[in-house]
Structure 1
Amino acid sequence: MTREQIIALLPHGEGMCLLDTVESVDENSITCSATIRDDHPLRHNGEVSGIIALEYGAQAIGLWAALRHGAENKPKEGYVLALRNFKLHDRALPQNALLTITADKKLLGEDSAICLFAVASEKTAIAEGQITLKTGPTS
């Protein structure tokens, strides 16, 4: 799956879509890739904070959920409701590195998903945890 196809499925728009490609996807998981470029939208003082790995995980989960529920629907806004067992192994994402983002389903509902996620660069762990994501209004 290409970046253009990903942008069509996520509500972030081209400027904030952080994922470049989908390497694999099935009913229980997704693996995406992304490169940390000089024009990264969340770069601050010359680097991208490691905490942004959470956003990579959330976008991968949102994309996986959109694919599972059918791509014919308009992209829905999603919200991180909970983050559990989050481990950050590096304070900054490595410049020009190719990231691998994985998400594995624990639970999928009509408007929510709970997934384990991991972000790595060249087999080196950057971050991991469990995200609960909800689509649609939060109230």
Structure 2
Amino acid sequence: MRELYDIERVVPHRGTMRLVDRLVDWDEDTVAVELRVPEEGPFSHAEGVPAWVGVEYMAQTIAAWAGCHARAAGREPSIGFLLGTRRYESRTSWFPAGTVLRVEAIRELLGDNGLGMFRCRILGEGEELATANVSVFEPPDAMAYLESTQE
């Protein structure tokens, strides 16, 4: 049986930049997390959180998937990079504060070079609110990769 890790053990984001609250499920190809849209935070407004932040919700969900796989293999989660999105569509402009969202990601492709693409969606009260294809990159050694880009 897969362990449902504490979200802080699988997502590297900390403080107000960790936007997802709880790992709900994960397996070889899929992951689901939940979050409560905050009333206060770096993206909060009177209307709630803008729907474009959904891209980061999706990216952190993918980070949780990668972190679960790393933990299951006895490794620490690594830093990954959001490369971009395709076809981000939202049926709302805002996620109202207090709303519980479920974010799901399905691995569509993951290369040996660390490049991957996930099909993602955000649900609120069982209704699909946003969808996108999200491209990510997880280098074998994130720190060495970051240092090489500084030269």
- TM-score tier (shorter): 0.7 to 0.9
Range with bigger deviation, 28-37 or 73-82? 73-82
**What residue number does 1:87 align with?**
89
More RCO (CA 8 Å, sep 6+): 1
Conserved in 1, the CA contact under 8 Å of 2:24 and 2:33? Answer: yes
Q: State, as a whole percentage, how many aligned pairs show the same letter.
A: 23
2:106 corresponds to which of 89, 94, 104 = 104
Compare the two structures and name the one with the higher strand fraction. Answer: 1
**What residue number does 2:122 align with?**
119
| Residue identity opposite 2:136 in structure 1 | L
Conserved in 2, the CA contact under 8 Å of 1:53 and 1:127? Answer: yes
CA deviations 1:37-62 (Å, max 9, x no partner) are 21233214553110001111000011
How many residue pairs were aligned?
Answer: 137
Helix, strand or coil at the partner of 1:7: helix
* Counterparts in 2 of 1:35 and 1:52: CA distance versus 1, 3 Å: same
| Residue identity opposite 1:101 in structure 2 | V
Q: Tell me, in whole angstroms, the C-alpha distance in 1 between the residues paired with 2:110 and 2:16.
A: 28
**What residue number does 2:11 align with?**
10
Range with bigger deviation, 126-135 or 97-106? 126-135
Displacement of 1:15 in angstroms is 2.3
Show structure 1 runs of 5+ residues with no match. Answer: none
TM-score scaled by length of structure 2: 0.79
Larger Rg, first or second structure (1 or 2): 2
Root mean square deviation, CA, Å:
2.0
Q: Tell me, in whole angstroms, the C-alpha distance in 2 between the residues paired with 1:43 and 1:102.
A: 22
Q: Tell me, in whole angstroms, the C-alpha distance in 2 between the residues paired with 1:39 and 1:82.
A: 26
Show structure 2 runs of 5+ residues with no match. Answer: none
| Residue identity opposite 1:52 in structure 2 | V
Conserved in 2, the CA contact under 8 Å of 1:53 and 1:126? Answer: no
Helix, strand or coil at the partner of 1:59: helix
Written as runs of structure 1 = structure 2, the 5 A alignment for 1:27-106 is 27-44=28-45, 47-70=48-71, 72-106=74-108
Structure 1: 4+ residue segments shifted above 4 A: none
Range with bigger deviation, 75-84 or 19-28? 75-84
CA deviations 1:16-74 (Å, max 9, x no partner) are 11111111111110111100121233214553110001111000011101212335434
